[in-house]
Structure 1
């Protein structure tokens, strides 16, 4: 019995326990799975529903996270579009969780090779600071193709310390702090 409970065995057991606990905690954002209402690993798709103003024709552009392939959204110069962002986890709509935790989320729309104005509209996503997450927006296209291979990089930020919905460089929206919950790329064309 002395051999089972000697100091070396206890130290080895404590070291193994420490490594196990450290590994489990480091795999969780902010140290606790309960703190994150929308774990990054659970988002599988970001779908943009694009409707040209003056029409009722809505076209869906589905970006599958981690699956490769980039959808192309055709936009006409001088036109405006209503765009709704939907987030999916397999067949489940995860957008509701974003709306429920709207103070912890913010979307950044970056158009580095286009001239497009983004206006955040009512989508039930008004944050406590008076800013909108960006689940429903109006895009006014000045020039869809303003450089070679234009694209939109859409980023969902989790727990930013502060947000700004104004244009910053080529992006509509910026944050201080936070982490990326999901990111998608959509090619743009005329």
Structure 2
């Protein structure tokens, strides 16, 4: 009987010791936090090298002086357009999110939509914004303004799409999450 008690006590002790192992044995999971994007800029450069930048600021970060931008284009003109993303949530430590988008170009893609705006878009990305499959992610584009009118441009930055499609230069994706989507008013004269 003493042996049975001793064996039972020994088993309970062994179970207690092995079940109390530390969870620190495995490395912590690295979490890639999504960046805060407060501002999206479109910089248009015309044939005469005149550049105009339009900035959309998230409503949460606008001040009392914010005026919603209206992109003004001339019918028949061609513009080189650079799209950039910023985190200005801390004015003392602004971040250029575009750099991260380029570093992680396999995980990012931009789509463009035009509502009531006659715009022909062509992707013109260089090596720094072309993914490992040769797909231009859309940070650099060329816009040709068509017929006069008013409308809007919708710019979306997609994170980790399952597939990227540039058969239509405006771009399309399957899956992924939208990091940011903004709308700019457009006036073509």
The alignment's TM-score, normalised by the length of structure 2, stands at 0.73
CA RMSD of aligned residues (A): 1.9
In the other structure, the counterpart of 1:110 is 113
5+ residue gaps, structure 1: 1-31
Indicate yes or no: 2:31 matched with 1:34.
Answer: yes
Name the CA distance, whole Å, in 1 between partners of 2:148 and 2:103: 33
Name the CA distance, whole Å, in 2 between partners of 1:180 and 1:144: 31
Name the CA distance, whole Å, in 2 between partners of 1:88 and 1:117: 26
5+ residue gaps, structure 2: 1-28, 89-93
Name the CA distance, whole Å, in 2 between partners of 1:183 and 1:129: 24
Name the CA distance, whole Å, in 2 between partners of 1:152 and 1:108: 10
Which one of the candidate residues 76, 99, 102 is aligned to 1:99?
A: 102
Name the CA distance, whole Å, in 2 between partners of 1:48 and 1:144: 20
Could you list the per-position Cα deviations for residues 55-75 of structure 1 after superposition, in whole angstroms to 9, with x for gaps in the alignment?
121111010023475310001
In the other structure, the counterpart of 2:38 is 44
Give the count of matched residue pairs: 149
Question: Which runs of structure 2 are paired with 1:15-34 in the superposition (5 Å)?
Answer: 34=31
The alignment's TM-score, normalised by the length of structure 1, stands at 0.73
The structure 1 segments of at least 4 consecutive aligned residues displaced by more than 4 Å after TM superposition are: none
